Structures are given as structure tokens and as C-alpha cells.
Amino acid sequence: NAGVTQTPKFRVLKTGQSMTLLCAQDMNHEYMYWYRQDPGMGLRLIHYSVGEGTTAKGEVPDGYNVSRLKKQNFLLGLESAAPSQTSVYFCASSSTSGGSYEQYFGPGTRLTVT
Amino acid sequence: ELKVEQNPLFLSMQEGKNYTIYCNYSTTSDRLYWYRQDPGKSLESLFVLLSNGAVKQEGRLMASLDTKARLSTLHITAAVHDLSATYFCAVGTGTASKLTFGTGTRLQVTL
């Protein structure tokens, strides 16, 4: 099992450009999440999904859109990148069985917006 | 709004010493998670605490949860250099168990 994978690992964008980050999980998890981590800070939730076709806003959703067309994939889009979106983005997934809702994280995508 | 506070933010300790990291949170929850992050890496799950009084131990690390005090602790026993990393606590809320993270404790274990 690959667990949670993210594509790409690194990206540099110019202000105003758009891009999509892809998260894939092979654990058949129902829940998926996108977080961002800024230097010296903990992670902050951007958007999350409790199932295929459903998404919801987290703590810092502005400037981002998401889609979950397939259970195993969760896409994060930046329509018009801004320097404030320079960050490391982590995807995570969790299962509803067992009751722990433990989240498993991907390796991260380091995004720089110039 | 849920607030999660960790202290200390930075901890330098000698090998062989003991220390405790504290995690306070502002609203009721019975799901508390501890993660480890090495520089430039992702988060590694250490402990999942799901009830008041829960205590879990793995090697030199022990985590506990007091939901009434809204406090979790991560105790380090006889620290070794390999424990050097940043440790995060996170509180889970809601049906999707969304995580709110603390700002992290950067632990440096010196020889």
C-alpha cells in the first residue's frame, strides 16, 4: 500500500497563475482533508470531504476550491495564486471504522508563489 | 473558536533527562492526537487518545489525556538524540474529526 500520495512534490507559481494539487489514497478511507503549514506553525485545515461528491470548508478556505469526484482522490485548486498561498500543503485521510478517526498524512507539496 | 496551545514552543534538553510537553485546548473534546514531524518531512502519528484518563506509552514517550482539565501531556523519559523533532498535539472535533493543531514544540536533544 502506498498510503497517501501527493502530486506534485514541489511547484513554483507566478502570482495569478492557477494549479491543482492531487491527493490519492489507497486505504479506502471515507474522509479526506487538505491542510496548509506555514513556517513555525501547526497545520490549518483548508477543506475536507466526508465522502465522494461532498466537500466542506475548513478554517482557511478562501482562495481554494476542492473536488472529490472519486473516493480515492481529493483535488485542491488555486484559481489565482497569491504570495500569501506560499506554504506546504498536506493531504490526509481517515477511516470511520474503529472510532479513532486517526488521520494519515501524505508527504506534502511545497508551493512557492512569486 | 477552538484554541490549542502547546508549551514550551522550544525545548533544549540533554540526553538522559526527563521532560513534559503540555497541550491545552479551549473546548470540549475527547479526541486528542500527538504527531511527530522531522524537518522537511510529513507528520507521523504517535498517539491517539480517545477518553478521559487515557494513557499510552511507546518507548520513551508517554501521552495522557485529562478531558476535564482540557489538558494532554507528552512525557519524555531519558531523552535520546533520535527524539529531536517537532511534536504537535491536535484536537479532533465534529463528525469528520477535523483537527485543530497546536503550534508545535521543537525538541532538541543534545549529547
What's CA A108's distance to the chain center, in Å? 9
Task: Specify burial of residue B109 (Cβ count, 10 A radius: 0-12, 13-18, 19+).
Answer: buried
Contact across the interface for B43 and A105, Cβ inside 8 Å: yes
Tell me the nearest-neighbour CA distance from B104 into chain A, angstroms: 6
Total residues belonging to chain B: 111
Tell me the nearest-neighbour CA distance from B86 into chain A, angstroms: 10
Amino acid (one-letter) located at B22 = Y
How do the pLDDT tens digits run along chain A, 114 residues long? 779 999 999 999 999 999 999 999 999 999 999 999 998 888 999 999 999 999 999 999 999 999 999 999 999 999 999 999 999 999 999 988 878 889 999 999 999 999
Q: Is B77's Cβ below 8 Å from some Cβ in A?
A: no
Q: How many CB atoms lie within 10 A of CB A86?
A: 17
Q: Is A61's Cβ below 8 Å from some Cβ in B?
A: no
Measured CA to CA, the distance from residue B51 to residue A91 in angstroms comes to: 26
DSSP-derived letter for residue B58 is E
Q: Is B45's Cβ below 8 Å from some Cβ in A?
A: yes
Q: Can you tell me whether residue A68 is helix, strand or coil?
A: coil
Question: What strands lie across the sheet with A4-7, from one edge to the other?
Answer: A4-7, A19-25, A73-78, A64-67
Hey, of A36, A50, A90, A101, which one would you mutate to test binding to chain B, going by the most B CBs within 10 A of its CB? A101
Q: Is A31's Cβ below 8 Å from some Cβ in B?
A: yes
Amino acid (one-letter) located at B6 = Q
Measured CA to CA, the distance from residue A68 to residue A53 in angstroms comes to: 5
What residue has cell string 494549479? A19
Tell me the nearest-neighbour CA distance from B30 into chain A, angstroms: 10
pLDDT tens per residue across span B12-37: 999 999 999 999 999 988 799 999 99
Q: Is B21's Cβ below 8 Å from some Cβ in A?
A: no
pLDDT of B81 higher than 90: yes
pLDDT tens per residue across span B44-67: 999 999 988 899 999 999 999 999
